[in-house]
Amino acid sequence: MTDLALLLSLIVLAMLVIAGALAARRARAWRIGRAARVDWAAGLMALPKRYLVDVHHVVGRDPYAARMHALAAGGLLAGSSLALIGLIPALGDARLFWWLTALAFAAAFAGGAMVGRRRYPTKPARLSGGRFQILPFLLAAYSGGGFLVALDASLGGALRPLGLLGLAFAAIGGIGLALQIDRGPMRHAFAGAAHLVAHPRPGRFMDERATALAPLDLDAPRLGVAMPEDFAVNRLIGFDACIQCGRCEIACPAFAAGQPLNPKRLIQDLAASLQPGGTNAAYAGSPYPNARPVAGVGGPGLPIVGEAAMIHPDTLWSCTTCRACVEECPMMIEHVDAILDLRRFQTLELGALPAKAAAPLMELRYADEPGGRPLTGRTDFAAGLTLPLMAQKGEAEILLWLGEGAYDLRYGRTLRALVTLLQKAGVDFAVLGAEERDCGDLARRLGDEAGFQRLARANIETLARYRFARILTADPHALHALRNEYSAFGGTYEVVHHTAFLDELAATGRLTLGALEAARVTYHDPCYLGRYNGEVDAPRRLLDRLGIARLEMERSGKRSMCCGGGGGAPVSDIEGERRIPDIRMGQAAATGAGIVAVACPQCSAMLEGVTGERPAVHDIAELVLMAVEKAGTAPARSAQVPA
Amino acid sequence: MRIALLLSAGRHRVSGRPAPVPVELQALRLAADLAQTHGGQSGGTVTGLHAGPEIGPLTDALGHGLGHLVHLRMPAEADPAPALTAALEAGGYDLILAGRSGQGGEDTGLLPYTLARALGRPILADAAALAPGAEAGTLSVEQALGRGARRRLVVRLPALVTVHPAAPAPLPFAFAGLRRGQVEMREAAPSAPAPHEVEERPYRPRPKLIAKAAAGASAAERLKAATVAASGGGKLLVDPAPEEAAREILAHLRALGLIAPR
Ligand code: SF4
Ligand code: SF4
């Protein structure tokens, strides 16, 4: 072992000590958080799989970033570990060992160079500057320096002058990197690992949907999150895991619309509030668009939301809860849960929700319907059709949940199409009629957990009176609530979306479809169906049965973009520069499609609200009905499953 | 400043379920704002008062910014006025707020006047905004008149003020406020049943009277006739002699065809 190699090993040791101390200091800060039920042992066991499979699945969507990260992180870890165990004489004296070490550092250097190439000469807007801009230099210095020292050692000290130079670089770069561990870019490494171990939704790594909001204990001393310590400890860890890659930012519809929300900035603000006397002054990424002025100070014991705090309330209320940020985040951070926790405090404790959002919640409280409309009016859309009532039948194979869309004149047409199709297919179904209350989705997303729980319990009680095999609904929000969120209150149902159900009917030949020739259709995935419930195939399969040309938008499937209608955003109505549905309609028009197929009353309403020259908006049920009617006149095409 | 707020048993206008009366929640907001921003060094307090058999969802007022709610329990048919008068007198309130009308039974807009008479206090109707008067012990009231007009009046406290639906929207409901709030139940002294039987039936909006334009008039003329009628027209009599006022009213009703021509 050369003396330089020994010194390199000692530098790594010093880095380890510094990083360890800084990480421990940061980890102590997490302890202010509320206790969380975490299965640490299982999490630790699962860490390699969560990291290598789940994280890389997300990272891999950007192949450049994936290669860059594999080289930089892999090389850095391998090189440093090797240099460290080089302290063991038997290894340290082997030239081959140092040759291996040099190889690892070379890989890290290549990764560092890729980091640099991504940021220089121009840094993409989604990436943060500041400390992040010096990262490639530190990486290059450390890995390049390590390479030279190891190379020198592998040659038995033949390149001593180069080795000396390398050692200097390695020392500067290495210590520099270690110093970044508690607040700089390197924090993601240890906080990210801890976050993967203690993740608040372990089901995400086990192919579960894991998208239901956790119920709030309404007897808790404080409802929701006011201060950093109100977050569970594993949530706090999650905020620190953010690497400021900005993937969430470019996915966020509110950000794109110029509303004052940037999920990346939000997570940074939350991470900064963990520090006593914390400010967000060091943040060097894109701001909240049209940011409302805030004091920008926070810390334990201080409120997070408010003009005198870190985050402006408008930021909170801009979110459509579309989960696009969560879907894109390579660090598996749960932005929507954090936003909901903050909203719950604002709504339940302070009653500080946007003025226009208060009215529907009030109507819900006394009329079980956010528009204050009569529950008997829910079936008005079906005038002229026979709509069997559960109250009369007592049981049916399918319980048709109508949802809020039933009150909407436009969406009523969709429901009429659906009911007509059910009748044509001879489905045994019934509706609750006036016994159906709002499912509580709006209340819950606006933070009114008390209202949601009341509605959920009331609906569960109603449903318990009837016998049915499945619940069918055309409303993905109701579907999500009934399928995933009611179970916490004792209501477990098999819920099927109308797209999947119609697909089933077509596949089994109960509906005969004609071909809608020459129609060019693009399908807009509803967030609550695609991202929340993973149903992206059935609607497409169904569309493909209609003999149309199906075109995909720039963003589709689980990575689709929100229409702007979720999370109570239409009633909160936070001002931006553009409207989210206009942006989405632009993407639809860009495919050259003449029809945007939708599968949700919210999407239907939002996209129909787009003015000017644009593709027509039709729910899939309407298209299927057209095809069925075509089949009645034209020679029928037998239903077949496309390969 | 001590403020009392009268809360009546309302019903949701569509579902018919028991609910607070919206205009009373608006009154609560005016009271809460007044108490908070202009409470003086002692700070203001707002106490809600309800007289009736059940408090029901009126406790929700606690979620809309009310700190303290007093329920004067009495049988449904009892007259609430004596119990309320006694409670208001005992409470020593500077300001008593009520909605301009309730939603059923004896919660009509008449009760505030009955109470004002019993308490011997001035009453001012249809406030849309409240602020402390320039002089101590007075209240500046913005009164809502027809067609969005406003009139500012100053009333000397203690007084009774009813609130108009044109007042700002209620404070949003906060569940934790309801959880924190206190309801104090008091048995009201027995009183005679309310004097009048009132017939109750669902409200139905009546068709509006639209002034007719001459047959064959142009669309513009018809529009003008319709909008002129809608914007009131009529005559403004300032301080008329009673005889003259009565004559004018009769003439007007006759012109509308509501009473037989002489
Ligand atoms: S929250 Fe996730 S996606 Fe957003 S910047 Fe941070 S790491 Fe990237
Ligand atoms: S859920 Fe959607 S709207 Fe909300 S922050 Fe994430 S991407 Fe933005």
Are β-strands B138-144 and B150-156 bridged in parallel, bridged antiparallel, or unpaired?
antiparallel
Mean pLDDT over each residue of chain A, to the nearest integer: 93
> How much is the pLDDT for A299?
93
Percent of chain A with pLDDT over 70: 98
| pLDDT tens profile A398-455 | 999 999 999 999 999 999 999 999 999 999 999 999 999 999 999 999 999 999 999 9
What letter does residue A436 receive in the DSSP assignment? P
By three-state DSSP, how is residue B144 classified? strand
Ligand closest to CA A259: 2
- Nearest residue on chain B to A376, judged by CA atoms? B15
Query: Model confidence over A99-141: pLDDT tens digits?
Result: 999 999 999 999 999 999 999 999 999 999 998 999 999 999 9
**How many angstroms is it from B79 CA to the middle of ligand 1?**
64
Q: What is the pLDDT of residues A447-495, one digit of tens each?
A: 999 999 999 999 999 999 999 999 999 999 999 999 999 999 999 999 9
**Tell me: the pLDDT tens digits for A554-573?**
999 999 999 999 999 999 99
Q: Which mean pLDDT values do the consecutive 10-residue runs of chain B (262 residues) have?
A: 92 90 95 80 81 93 93 89 94 93 70 93 95 90 89 93 95 94 89 69 67 68 67 74 91 85 71
**CA separation for the pair B59, A218 (Å, rounded):** 17
Tokens of B135: 């002089």
| pLDDT number for residue B37 | 76
Q: A367: which chain B residues are within 8 Å (Cβ-Cβ)?
A: 12, 14-15, 17
From A359, A576, A539, select the one nearest B168 (Cα to Cα). A359
Closest by CA to A191, choosing from A204, A180, A206, is: A180
Alpha carbon of A278: minimum distance to chain B alpha carbons (Å): 29
A313-372 pLDDT tens trace:
999 999 999 999 999 999 999 999 999 999 999 999 999 999 899 999 999 999 999 999
Taking alpha carbons only, the member of A282, A317, A297, A284 closest to residue A227 is: A297
What is the model's pLDDT at position B223? Answer: 74
Element of type H or E holding B89: helix B80-91
Q: Which of A347, A366, A449 sits opposite B15 (nearest CB)?
A: A366
Complete DSSP assignment for A377-409: GGGGGGTTS---BHHHHSEEEEEEE--GGGGSH
The verdict on the CB of residue A82 being under 6 Å from ligand 1 is no
Annotate A125-161 with DSSP letters as a single string: TTS--THHHHHHHHHHHHHHHHHHHHHHHHTTSTTHH
Nearest CA in chain A to B19: A366
Please name which of A477, A480, A374 lies closest in space to residue A433, comparing C-alpha atoms: A374
CA B190, CA B82: separation in Å to the nearest integer? 9
Report the interhelical angle of A620-633 vs A498-507 (nearest 10°): 20
CA distance B30 to A100: 77
Look at residue B142 and give its three-state secondary structure: strand
Chain A touched by B173 (CB under 8 Å):
yes
CB contact under 8 A, B173 and A358: yes
- Using the mean position of ligand 1's atoms as its centre, give its distance from the Cα of residue A117 in Å: 20
SS3 A48: helix
Distance from CA of B255 to the nearest CA of A (A): 39
Closest ligand 1 atom to the C-alpha of A126? 5
- d(Cα A144, Cα A137) in Å, to the nearest integer? 10
| Domain range A365-507, CATH class | alpha beta
Torsion-angle region of A340 (φ positive above 0: left; ψ -120 to 50: alpha; else: beta): alpha
> How close is the Cα of A262 to the center of ligand 2, in Å?
8
Q: How far is A531 from chain B (nearest CA, A)?
A: 31
Closest chain B residue by Cα to residue A450: B175
Using an 8 Å Cβ cutoff, are A462 and A437 in contact? yes
Q: What are phi and psi of B71, to 5 degrees?
A: -105, 115
CATH of domain B3-187: 3.40.50.620
Residue A608's Cα: distance from chain center in Å?
A: 26
Which residue of chain A is at minimal alpha-carbon distance from B62?
Answer: A351
- pLDDT tens-digit readout, A175-227: 999 998 888 889 999 999 999 999 999 999 998 889 999 999 999 999 999 99
- Which residue in the block uniquely carries the two structure tokens 């999500």? A480
Backbone angles phi, psi at B68, to 5 degrees: -145, 130
Atom of ligand 1 nearest to the CA of A249: 4
Q: Answer whether A253 contacts ligand 2 (Cβ < 6 A).
A: yes
- Look at residues A58, A78, A76, A289 and name the one whose alpha carbon lies nearest to residue A196: A58
Give the pLDDT score at B39: 58
Domain ranges of chain A: 3-197, 222-350, 365-507, 520-632
Residue nearest to atom 4 of ligand 2 (CA): A319
H or E element in which residue A472 lies: strand A467-473
Among A379, A50, A369, A357, residue whose Cα is nearest residue A194: A50
Q: What pLDDT, on a 0 to 100 scale, did the predictor assign at position A89? A: 87
Query: Is there a contact between A257 and A284 (Cβ–Cβ < 8 Å)?
Result: no
Distance CA A400, CA A366 (A): 24
CB-based contact B208:B120 (threshold 8 Å) = no
Q: Could you tell me if A466 and A394 are in contact, meaning their C-beta atoms sit under 8 angstroms apart?
A: yes
Q: Please check whether residue A507 is in contact with residue A641, taking contact to mean a CB–CB distance below 8 angstroms.
A: yes
CA A380, A381, A384, A388 torsion-angle sign: negative
Q: Is A321 in the pocket of ligand 2 (CB under 6 A)?
A: yes
Report the 10 Å Cβ neighbour count for B228. Answer: 12
Kindly report the protein residue whose alpha carbon is nearest to atom 3 of ligand 1: A329
Residue B14 touches chain A, beta carbons under 8 Å? yes
**Strand, helix or coil for residue A616:** strand
Residue A643 has pLDDT above 50, yes or no: no
Closest residue by Cα to atom 6, ligand 1, is A242
- As a CATH number, domain A222-350 is 1.10.1060
C-beta atoms of A374 and B15 within 8 A: yes
CA B73 – ligand 2 centroid, Å: 50
A473, containing H or E segment: strand A467-473
Instruction: Confirm if A202 and A40 have CB atoms less than 8 A apart.
Output: no
Pairing of strands A549-551, A520-523: parallel
Which ligand has an atom closest to residue A192 CA? 1
CA-only gyration radius of chain B, Å? 21
Find out whether the beta carbon of A333 lies less than 6 Å from any atom of ligand 1. yes
CA of A564 to the centre of ligand 2 (A): 10
Inter-chain touch A365–B60, beta carbons under 8 Å: yes
Can you tell me the distance from the alpha carbon of A77 to that of A56, in angstroms, rounded to the nearest whole number?
Answer: 17
**The tokens of A263 are what?**
């999920």
Of residues B88 and A631, the one with the higher pLDDT is B88
Atom 5 of ligand 2: nearest residue by CA position: A263
Q: Which residue of A219, A222, A362, A373 is the best one to mutate when testing the B interface, meaning the one whose CB has the most B CBs within 10 A? A: A362
**Is the beta carbon of A477 within 6 A of some atom in ligand 1?**
no
Residue of A nearest to B56 (CA): A366
Collapse the DSSP code of A167 into the 3-class scheme (helix H, G, I; strand E, B; otherwise coil) and give the result: helix
Give the angle A252-A320-B65 at the CA atoms, nearest 5°: 135
Residue B221, C-beta contacts closer than 8 angstroms, at least 6 positions apart: B213, B214
B150-167 core/surface letters (b: 16 or more CB in 10 A; e: else): eeeeebebbbbbbbbebb
Nearest CA to ligand 2 atom 2: A322
Which residues are paired to B185 by β-bridges?
B71
Ligand 1 centre distance from Cα of residue A330 (Å): 7
Q: Identify the pLDDT of residue A2.
A: 82
CB-CB neighbors (< 8 A) of A374 in chain B: 14-15
> A224 near A216, Cβ under 8 Å?
yes
**Which residue of B14, B15, B63 is in closest CB contact with A351?**
B63
Q: Residue with the nearest Cα to atom 6 of ligand 2? A: A325
* Long-range pairs for B195-200: beta carbons < 8 A, 24 or more residues apart: B195/B79, B196/B106, B198/B105, B198/B106, B198/B108, B200/B104, B200/B105
CA distance linking residue A500 with residue A480, whole number of Å: 14
Residue A166 DSSP class: H
- Nearest partner of A419 among A430, A403, A434, A404, judged by Cα: A430
Query: Which tokens in the block code for residue A83?
Result: 């240099």
Write down the domain spans for chain B.
Answer: 3-187, 207-256
Interface test with A, best of B12, B175, B179 (most A CBs within 10 A): B175
Which residues of chain A neighbour B169 with C-beta distances below 8 Å? Answer: 355, 358-359
Q: How far apart are CA A491 and CA A485, in angstroms?
A: 9
pLDDT (tens digit per residue) in A145-175: 999 999 999 998 888 999 999 999 999 999 9
Q: Given an 8 Å threshold on Cβ–Cβ distance, is B175 in contact with A353?
A: no
- How many angstroms separate the alpha carbon of residue A320 from the centre of ligand 2? 6
Q: Chain A to chain B, count of Cβ pairs less than 8 Å apart? A: 62
Secondary structure element (H or E) that encloses residue A103, with its range: helix A95-119
Helices A160-179 and A131-154: crossing angle in degrees, nearest 10, is 150
